[in-house]
Amino acid sequence: MVKYSFRLLFAACCLFLAVFPGFAGEDTVTQVSTIDALMTGIYDGPTTLGELRRNGDLGLGTFAALDGEMVLLDGIFYQVTSTGDVRRPGPDTKTPFAAVTFFKADRTVRLARGTDFKSLISDTQRSFPTRNAFYAVKIKGTFKMMKTRSVPAQQRPYRPLTEIVKTQPVFDFADVAGTMVGFWCPSFVKGVNVPGYHLHFLRADGKKGGHVLDFIVDNATMEIDDSREFSLILPDDPAFDKANLEPDRAGELKAVEK
């Protein structure tokens, strides 16, 4: 009886993996494409939000044609448009770059009032067991100031991201409640993801947000989920295959992120 039960369980597992080949477990960061590919103007990709959702319930990224900033919070995708307004994209919407994980906090850090982006970088890293792993973060609370940006949808031929952000719409919020989601990545991912913090914000009412440029904490806590596994999905796409990803774009990335 035990033998047949084991065979049945094994068959069920095989069937599950066949139906959900992209499924990732807890403590795995799953990423679509690379940050350098996005920097060069690879703004289309074959991965849908429905496929991406199988790999996580928290994350960030962007959408096909660079149409806004992605926030994945509590399993729901939000699209922050170039006006700063938010809409809910459908499961068939595609993404050229995103990173997601199934979020389960390993520890919680109370952020001091007045914490800004610069001090977050220095202060909260003390809560990391090592600088050689990935950490998903969720920062929820109220903020004296929040500065975000988004980008408008692009038309072919696509310009590099460094050109687009020169005229990016920037949004300033005062005394705002909401949640920042994102990742802290180790330095060795340079070219693949953003070393250090990469955060996106969603206002508590779900109507505003964007890529975080700076903030000042009023009353907030940060949950941290340690991640020791990293899965990279490279686009099966002619534009990606032909892209020159050899140059070091660290300087360009710093300008784009800040």
Residue-level pLDDT at 256: 81
- 199 pairs with which residues across the strands? 182
The pairing of beta strand 229-233 with beta strand 209-227: unpaired
CB 214 within 8 A of CB 117: yes
Torsion over CA: 197, 30, 165, 255 (sign): positive
pLDDT grade, residue 242 (50/70/90)?
Answer: very high
Return left, alpha or beta for 182; rule: phi > 0 is left, psi -120 to 50 is alpha, else beta: left
CB atoms within 10 A of CB 83: 12
Q: What is the pLDDT of residue 2?
A: 46
Q: Give the tens place of pLDDT for each residue, 175-231.
A: 999 999 999 999 999 999 999 999 999 999 999 999 999 999 999 999 999 999 999
Rounded to an integer, what distance in angstroms lies between the CA atom of residue 87 and that of residue 20? Answer: 27
CA 153, chain centre distance (Å): 18
**What band does 125 get if pLDDT is binned at 50, 70 and 90?**
confident
Domain covering 22-257 assigned CATH 3.30.1330.80 in the classification: yes
Q: What is the mean pLDDT of residues 156-185?
A: 95
The CA distances from residue 11 to 7, 14, 22, 44, in Å, are: 6, 5, 18, 37
Alpha-helical segments (H) within the chain: 2-19, 35-40, 49-53, 117-123, 161-164, 238-242, 250-257
Share of the chain above pLDDT 70, in %: 90
99 pLDDT above the threshold of 60: yes
Domain ranges across the chain:
22-257
- DSSP code at position 55: T
